[in-house]
C-alpha cells in the first residue's frame, strides 16, 4: 500500500443506508462491511494465524490495556510490532483499553489528565493519559488506533453522561494533537459517546467529527441495555457520522445486531461473542443457533451447518462436536471457534455482496426470521 493511499476510504455501492466500501491501511485493504475477530492479547483464543486466514478474516482486534500489561509495548516494539510478533501480516485494530479500565470501577480513578488504575494481574499502579495510550499503540504497531475515551456505565444519569462526554472530547482532541494527520502510517479513529440520550449523542458526534480522524466509532453500546434501546441509539447515531469515513460499532456482535448495524450504515464490527460462545458450546448457523451440548446431537451424523465451507463443517459431524464438548477436549474450542468465526466473516461477506447487488433488504429480512429479535 503506497503512503498516499493509506487511510483512503472508498464507497463502492450503497443500498439504502447500507454501504459496501474499501479501507486502505498500511497492512492491506479491508473490504467493508467487516467483522473483526478479537485477539485481545495477541491471540484469537484457541486459533493460530493459519486458521484466521482459512476463515477469511482480513483484520483482527488487539487490546492496548492487556498488551501494555503483558508482554509490554516496549517488547512488542523491539519485536517489530504485534503483527510480526504473532505472525499476522494483515491489518490489526487496537482498542484503547478504555472499556477494560473503566470496568475496573473499584481499581481506577478518573481525572481530566487521564485515568489511574491497578493492574488486574498484580495490583501494580499505572496511569494512562490520552497521549500515553497513543504512544503505546505506536509501539504495538497496529494499523488502526482508537483514542482513549470513557465508556459510561448503563444507567448513568444525564449529568454524569454529559460530563463524561466532555472528557471524551477533550481526550480525543489531545490524542489528535499528539498524533496529527500525516504523522505516520497508523490510522486513528475517534469515538462518539453520549449514553442513551439522543441530544447528547448528537452533541458528541458534532464534537468528535469536528476533529480530523481517519474514522469514527460509536461506543457505549452493548453495556446492559435492552435490544430496543441499543437499536434506537444505533439507528439514531449512525447517520450523524461522516459519509466519507469508515464507521465502527464497538463491541456489538450478535448476528442480527450486525446486520441491523449494516442497515444503519455501519462498516466495521467486533465482538468476543463468537469465540466465547464457541467455548461454551453455542454455535451459529445459517439455520439458527445450535447448543451443541444437547442430547439430540449425540448421534447426529450431519455437518453442523451443511451450507458452511469451514474446516469444521467439511470434516466433522454434530455428534463428534458434541462428544468433544462433553469430554472437555481442547479440540472442541478450536473446531467450534473456527466455525463461529467463519459464520461471522461469511455473514458480512454475504451482506457486502447483497449491497453490491441491491438486495440487502431481502437478506436482513431473511435473518430477522432466523435470528428473531
Q: Print pLDDT tens along the chain (373 aa).
A: 556 699 999 999 999 999 999 999 999 999 999 999 999 999 999 999 999 999 999 999 999 999 999 999 999 999 999 999 999 999 999 999 878 877 777 778 899 999 998 898 999 999 999 999 999 999 999 999 999 999 898 999 999 999 999 999 999 999 999 999 999 999 999 999 999 999 999 999 999 999 999 999 999 999 999 999 999 999 999 999 999 999 999 999 999 999 999 999 999 999 999 999 999 999 999 999 999 999 999 999 999 999 999 999 999 999 999 999 999 999 999 999 999 999 999 999 999 999 999 999 999 999 999 997 5
Say which DSSP state 198 is in: H
For residue 206 the three cell numbers come to 458534532
Find residue 270's DSSP bridge partners.
36
Q: CA-CA distance, 126 to 162, in Å (whole number)? A: 26
Residues belonging to the active site: 95, 270
Angle between helix 255-264 and helix 360-370 axes, rounded to 10 deg: 150
Which SS3 state, helix, strand or coil, does residue 66 take?
A: helix
Dihedral angle computed from the Cα positions of residues 258, 263, 266 and 271, in that order, rounded to the nearest 10 degrees: -10
Q: Is 124 exposed, middle or buried (0-12, 13-18, 19+ CB in 10 A)?
A: exposed
For residue 47 the three cell numbers come to 486459533
So where are the chain's domains? 3-272
Q: Long-range contacts of range 68-74, CB-CB < 8 Å, 24 or more positions apart?
A: 68/97, 68/126, 68/136, 69/119, 69/121, 70/41, 70/121, 71/42, 73/136, 73/137, 73/139, 73/140, 74/139
Q: CA-CA distance, 234 to 232, in Å (whole number)? A: 6
- Yes or no: say if 305 and 343 are a contact pair by the CB < 8 Å rule: yes
For 3-272, CATH number out of 1.10.3720.10, 3.40.50.620, 3.50.50.60, 3.20.20.105 equals: 3.20.20.105
Amino acid at each position: 500500500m503506497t503512503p498516499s493511499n493509506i487511510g483512503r476510504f472508498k464507497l463502492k455501492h450503497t443500498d439504502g443506508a447500507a454501504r459496501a466500501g474499501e479501507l486502505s491501511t498500511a497492512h492491506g485493504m479491508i473490504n467493508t462491511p467487516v467483522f473483526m475477530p478479537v485477539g485481545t492479547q495477541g491471540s484469537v483464543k484457541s486459533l493460530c494465524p493459519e486458521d484466521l486466514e482459512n476463515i477469511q478474516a482480513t483484520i483482527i482486534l488487539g487490546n492496548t490495556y492487556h498488551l501494555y500489561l503483558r508482554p509490554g509495548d516496549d517488547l512488542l516494539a523491539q519485536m517489530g510490532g504485534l503483527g510480526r510478533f504473532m505472525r499476522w501480516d494483515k491489518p490489526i485494530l487496537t482498542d484503547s483499553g478504555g472499556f477494560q479500565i473503566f470496568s475496573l470501577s473499584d481499581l481506577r480513578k478518573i481525572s481530566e489528565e487521564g485515568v489511574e488504575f491497578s493492574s488486574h494481574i498484580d495490583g501494580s499502579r499505572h496511569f494512562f493519559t490520552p497521549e500515553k495510550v497513543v504512544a503505546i499503540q505506536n509501539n504495538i504497531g497496529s494499523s488502526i488506533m482508537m483514542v482513549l475515551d470513557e465508556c459510561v456505565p448503563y444507567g448513568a444519569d444525564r449529568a454524569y453522561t454529559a460530563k463524561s462526554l466532555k472528557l471524551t472530547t477533550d481526550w480525543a482532541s489531545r490524542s489528535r494533537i499528539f498524533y496529527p494527520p500525516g504523522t505516520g502510517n497508523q490510522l486513528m479513529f475517534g469515538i462518539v459517546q453520549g449514553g442513551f440520550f439522543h441530544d447528547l449523542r448528537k452533541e458528541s458526534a458534532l464534537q468528535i467529527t469536528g476533529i480530523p480522524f481517519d474514522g469514527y466509532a460509536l461506543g457505549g453500546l452493548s453495556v446492559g441495555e435492552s435490544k430496543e434501546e441499543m437499536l434506537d441509539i444505533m439507528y439514531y447515531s449512525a447517520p450523524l457520522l461522516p459519509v466519507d469515513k469508515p464507521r465502527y460499532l464497538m463491541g456489538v456482535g450478535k448476528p442480527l445486531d450486525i446486520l441491523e448495524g449494516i442497515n444503519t450504515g455501519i462498516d466495521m464490527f467486533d465482538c468476543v461473542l463468537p469465540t466465547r460462545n464457541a467455548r461454551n458450546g453455542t454455535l451459529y448457523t445459517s439455520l439458527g443457533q445450535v447448543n451443541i451440548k444437547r442430547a439430540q446431537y449425540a448421534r447426529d451424523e450431519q455437518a453442523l451447518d451443511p451450507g458452511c465451507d469451514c474446516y469444521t463443517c467439511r470434516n466433522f459431524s454434530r455428534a463428534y462436536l458434541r462428544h468433544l464438548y462433553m469430554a472437555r477436549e481442547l479440540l472442541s474450542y478450536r473446531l467450534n471457534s473456527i466455525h463461529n468465526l467463519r459464520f461471522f466473516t461469511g455473514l458480512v461477506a454475504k451482506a457486502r455482496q447483497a449491497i453490491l447487488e441491491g438486495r440487502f433488504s431481502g437478506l436482513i429480512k431473511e435473518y430477522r426470521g432466523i435470528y428473531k429479535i
